[in-house]
Amino acid sequence: MTASIHVALLRGVNVGGKNCVPMKDLAEIFAKAGCSDVRTYIQSGNVVFRATRAVAEGVPSRITEQIAKRFGCRIPVVLRTAEQFAAAVHNNPFPEIPQEALHVYFLAAVPDAARAAQLDPDRSKPDTFVVHGREIYLHLPNGIGRSKLTNAYFDSKLSTISTARNWRTVLKLLELMS
């Protein structure tokens, strides 16, 4: 079976001094899980790797469990193939927005359409967002730190797990997968 390129996006790693996981150790955990050509990008839990479909399907749960055993924290893992990640970049509904104001929440599962329709567009003015498949694109003119459009909000309203990345990181990860 042929190995293909994937990206794992870990939520809440090395943020604010919490959930400290050295990237060298993280790469080792991925390698032991059967992944090859493992590369990390910055300290916030971005891992590009090659794996067969069978190995990749088990990555989120295996990595979460290994991090819990080794570091004592439960870290959700959201996975995308290179093709899915490229589509997420291509589907950006805010191409005119400056990179520093654009963020993406990557969701573990496609949200229920009825739940997505109930999201409050006025929750955090002047912030705006668009749900598209397993991504939520956010225009955050005042930054993500001031927004009320948080992981907790989207996770609770959509019954899934999300992890955010700024647009610069998204583009760099796409480059690393090329």
pLDDT digits (tens, 9 = 90+) for 145-158: 999 999 999 999 99
Rg, Å, the chain Cα set: 16
| pLDDT tens column, 34-69 | 999 999 998 888 999 999 999 999 999 999 999 999
| pLDDT tens column, 102-126 | 999 999 999 999 999 999 999 999 9
Band (pLDDT 50/70/90 cuts) for residue 83 is very high
CA-nearest of 56, 48, 50, 52 to 2 is: 52
**17 pLDDT exceeds 90?**
no
Domain covering 85-177 assigned CATH 3.30.70 in the classification: yes
**6 pLDDT exceeds 70?**
yes
Which superfamily, per CATH, for 4-83? Answer: SP0830-like domains (3.30.70.1280)
* Common-topology check for domains 4-83 and 85-177: yes
Structural domain boundaries of the chain? 4-83, 85-177
CA-nearest of 74, 80, 39 to 57 is: 80
What confidence score (pLDDT) does residue 58 get? Answer: 94
Q: Report pTM.
A: 0.94
**15 pLDDT exceeds 90?**
no
| pLDDT tens column, 119-148 | 999 999 999 999 999 999 999 999 999 999
